[in-house]
């Protein structure tokens, strides 16, 4: 009960801190500008320093802004595109009516040729804003969180440029990123873009009925229908458990795969 109360109060403060106008008198201004406080200062006038966790609730107002992406560290610009691959001979076992064929929606990040500084940057979480809004809302629902907590990511844009011309120079090694239960192809976009800028092609895969939300080419929305129990992890499988360790290696003459699952943050490592 205490934890739930803390979450509710923190959520209320997050909304208030985000939307209050700047010209607000008195103590309310400290809610909006809570992000100015430095560690150890605590709530103004409280004298509690960093020992009172509730002193930092107003910081929640700046905890989930529109995400920014780290600068690319490689020599290439980055392009991205979304493709859909299907297997007409393979049924989709998780489909409610059993009539679907197996498809995957794949986003590719790749080394691109020179792109202009004013070239439109790719939408985060989807091909366009509509898809991003749908995916964010259903991911929040999957996580059991209020939808407004993820209203920032759909407004973000990444460094990549959709359908940019690939860089010259021949073949590039491929990294396959496969998110786990409830995961999204875009969840590691920053890492994918950084690898692409260093000369890799990264393929992030959305698995219909397994990912929290997938929007195929026909525009419908496919939600996850696989529970922790069905995945063999039990009803109490944690979504916040510690990651297991894994080794990593890169072979420029082969492909590399990696994946994480939110059902315990287990890792198959890098192969």
Same domain, 86 and 213: yes
Confirm whether 71 is domain-assigned: no
Same domain, 153 and 200: yes
Confirm whether 164 is domain-assigned: yes
What's the confidence (pLDDT) of residue 15?
56
Same domain, 46 and 104: no
Confirm whether 69 is domain-assigned: no
Same domain, 145 and 247: yes
Residues in the chain: 271
What's the confidence (pLDDT) of residue 93?
84
Same domain, 21 and 109: no
Residue 183 pLDDT greater than 60, yes or no? yes
The residues, any chain, with a CB within 8 Å of residue 214's CB and separated by 6 or more, are: 105, 206, 207, 208, 221, 222
Choose between 132 and 247: higher pLDDT.
132
Confirm whether 169 is domain-assigned: yes
What's the confidence (pLDDT) of residue 259?
46
Confirm whether 216 is domain-assigned: yes
201-234, pLDDT tens digit by residue?
A: 999 999 999 999 999 999 999 999 876 545 554 3
Confirm whether 36 is domain-assigned: yes
Same domain, 88 and 172: yes
Same domain, 134 and 50: no
Same domain, 43 and 88: no
Place of tokens 């804003």: 129
79 within 8 A of 109, measured Cβ to Cβ: yes
Domain count, the chain: 2
Q: DSSP letter at 188?
A: T
Structural domain containing residue 149: 77-267
Residue 90 backbone phi and psi in degrees, to 5: -120, 120
Q: Does the CA dihedral 17-19-20-21 come out positive or negative?
A: positive
38-68, pLDDT tens digit by residue?
A: 333 333 333 443 444 444 444 444 456 788 9
The residues, any chain, with a CB within 8 Å of residue 191's CB and separated by 6 or more, are: none
Average per-residue pLDDT for the chain = 74
Mean pLDDT of 88-96: 87
Same domain, 43 and 81: no
Please tell me the least confidently modeled range out of 15-19, 65-69, 77-81, 147-151.
Answer: 15-19
135 within 8 A of 120, measured Cβ to Cβ: no
Residue 19 pLDDT greater than 70, yes or no? no
Radius of gyration of the chain (CA): 21
> How many Cα atoms are found within 13 Å in the side-chain-facing hemisphere of 226?
23
Confirm whether 245 is domain-assigned: yes
Q: Does the CA dihedral 214-215-216-222 come out positive or negative?
A: positive
25-39, pLDDT tens digit by residue?
A: 444 444 433 333 333
124-178, pLDDT tens digit by residue?
A: 999 999 999 999 999 999 988 888 889 899 999 999 999 999 999 889 999 999 9
Same domain, 20 and 120: no
Confirm whether 124 is domain-assigned: yes
Among 15, 33, 62, where does a domain finish?
Answer: 62
Name the region of 141 (left: φ>0; alpha: ψ -120 to 50; beta: rest): alpha
What's the confidence (pLDDT) of residue 112?
97
Bridge pairing between strands 222-223 and 213-214: antiparallel
Same domain, 102 and 144: yes
184-206, pLDDT tens digit by residue?
A: 999 999 999 999 999 999 999 99
What's the confidence (pLDDT) of residue 28?
45
| pLDDT > 70: percent of the chain | 60
Question: CATH number for the domain including 142?
Answer: 3.40.50.1820
Bridge pairing between strands 77-91 and 213-214: unpaired
Same domain, 54 and 82: no
């Amino acid at each position: 009960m205490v934890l739930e109360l803390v979450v509710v109060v923190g959520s209320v403060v997050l909304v208030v801190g985000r939307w209050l106008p700047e010209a607000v008198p008195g103590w309310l201004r400290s809610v909006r500008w809570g992000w100015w406080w430095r560690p150890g200062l605590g709530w103004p006038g409280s004298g509690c320093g960093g020992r009172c966790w509730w002193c930092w609730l107003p910081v929640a107002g700046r905890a989930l802004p529109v995400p920014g992406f780290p600068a690319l560290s490689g020599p290439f610009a980055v392009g991205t595109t979304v493709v859909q691959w299907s297997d007409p001979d393979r049924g989709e076992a998780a489909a409610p009516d059993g009539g679907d064929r197996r498809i995957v929606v794949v986003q590719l990040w790749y080394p691109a040729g020179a792109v202009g500084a004013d070239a439109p940057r790719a939408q985060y979480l989807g091909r366009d804003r509509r898809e991003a809004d749908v995916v964010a809302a259903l991911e929040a629902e999957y996580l059991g969180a209020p939808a407004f907590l993820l209203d920032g990511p759909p407004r973000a844009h990444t460094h990549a440029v959709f359908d940019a011309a690939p860089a010259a120079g021949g073949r590039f090694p491929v990294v396959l990123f496969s998110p786990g239960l409830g995961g999204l192809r875009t969840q590691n976009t920053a890492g994918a873009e950084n690898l692409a800028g260093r000369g890799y092609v990264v393929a992030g895969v959305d698995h219909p009925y397994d990912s929290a939300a997938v929007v195929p080419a026909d525009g419908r929305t496919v939600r996850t229908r696989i529970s922790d129990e069905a995945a063999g992890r039990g009803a109490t499988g944690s979504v916040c458990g510690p990651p297991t360790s894994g080794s990593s290696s890169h072979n420029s003459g082969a492909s590399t795969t990696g994946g994480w699952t939110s059902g315990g943050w287990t890792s198959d490592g890098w192969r």
